[in-house]
Amino acid sequence: MPKTSADEIILSYNDCVLRQSDLAILNGPNYLNDRIIEFYFSYLSSCHPSEHILLVPPSIAYWTMNCPDTDSLKEFLQPLNLPSKKLIIFPVNDNDDVAAAGGGSHWSLLAYEKTTNVFVHHDSLGGSNEYDAKRLYESLIPHMGVIIPRPGFIESDCSPQQSNGYDCGLYVIAIAKEICKWFDSNEKVNEHLWFSRVKEQVNASTVSGLRSEIMELIKDLREKK
């Protein structure tokens, strides 16, 4: 079957493939899909090439939350070497149908910080994904290594809030970006977590500019190919 224009590959970056349809999503007020979030997480990993940081693609986070077989999940997660990481960031999606690829209507972010031994959930829509984030948290606990006490879970009350029904994925990207910057900065000396940085740097104005920023990034990467 011949490709349609929407299926045309516009960029291959690391293990991510973006298509023309992804640009259409970025061009308008649309809900971000898995591919765009995976691409930007991969880009952040390149910007913060630390063995201690892991940004988990949406597909892996989703299967971790929904895999019905504990043994196969252990094998699935083993290559990530979760116990060795000091900062792990997961996108959380509320799709409750594993047979519906690309389903769901809301994204949020779950981050684990090893020094404080806590998972923090950032949700830009008033905790809408708290149930799903806790499901992911419970699925991850057996694979984090021997940690005493058990890692905690915090529903962050300083998460910036979206004012529309489609920017949740952009908030995930914006918050992940600031958490990675926090990890690489000297702010960790004075602060245990990244809350102040996220509160100061992530807002409706900075998030609204992310669509064009990502478009420019894609354009620059294409030109370097």
Tokens of 197: 């940085």
Give the pLDDT of the chain (225 residues) as one tens digit per residue: 445 577 899 999 999 999 999 999 999 899 999 999 999 999 999 999 999 999 999 999 999 999 999 889 999 999 999 999 999 999 999 998 776 666 789 999 999 999 999 999 999 999 899 999 999 999 999 999 978 899 999 999 989 999 999 999 999 999 999 999 999 987 665 667 999 999 999 999 999 999 999 999 999 999 987
Helix H or strand E segment including 198: helix 195-201
Indicate which residue of 34, 132, 167, 168 is catalytic.
Answer: 168
Residue 99 neighbours by CB under 8 Å, 6+ apart = none
Residue 52 neighbours by CB under 8 Å, 6+ apart = 84, 85, 86, 87, 183
Q: Which residues pair with 88 in a beta bridge?
A: 54, 112
For the question of residue 180 being annotated catalytic, the response is no
Q: DSSP 3-state assignment of 114?
A: coil
Label residue 223 exposed, middle or buried (CB < 10 Å: 0-12, 13-18, 19+): exposed
Residue 208 neighbours by CB under 8 Å, 6+ apart = 167
> Residue 175: what are its φ and ψ, rounded to 5°?
-70, -40
Task: Please name which of 116, 63, 54, 49 lies closest in space to residue 92, comparing C-alpha atoms.
Answer: 63
User: Position 163: which residue type?
Assistant: S
What's residue 39's pLDDT? 98
For the question of residue 67 being annotated catalytic, the response is no
Indicate which residue of 16, 22, 122, 123 is catalytic.
Answer: 123
What's residue 1's pLDDT? 44
Supply the range of the domain harboring residue 167.
5-224
Angle of CA points 65, 198, 135, to nearest 5°: 15
Q: DSSP 3-state assignment of 92?
A: strand
Indicate which residue of 106, 122, 132, 167 is catalytic.
Answer: 106
Domain count, the chain: 1
> Residue 91: what are its φ and ψ, rounded to 5°?
-80, 140
Quote the CA–CA distance of 210 and 208 in Å, as a whole number: 6
User: What's the CATH number where 173 sits?
Assistant: 3.40.395.10
Tell me the angle at which helices 34-47 and 20-27 cross, rounded to the nearest 10 degrees. 90
For the question of residue 106 being annotated catalytic, the response is yes
User: Position 102: which residue type?
Assistant: G
Angle of CA points 123, 89, 128, to nearest 5°: 20
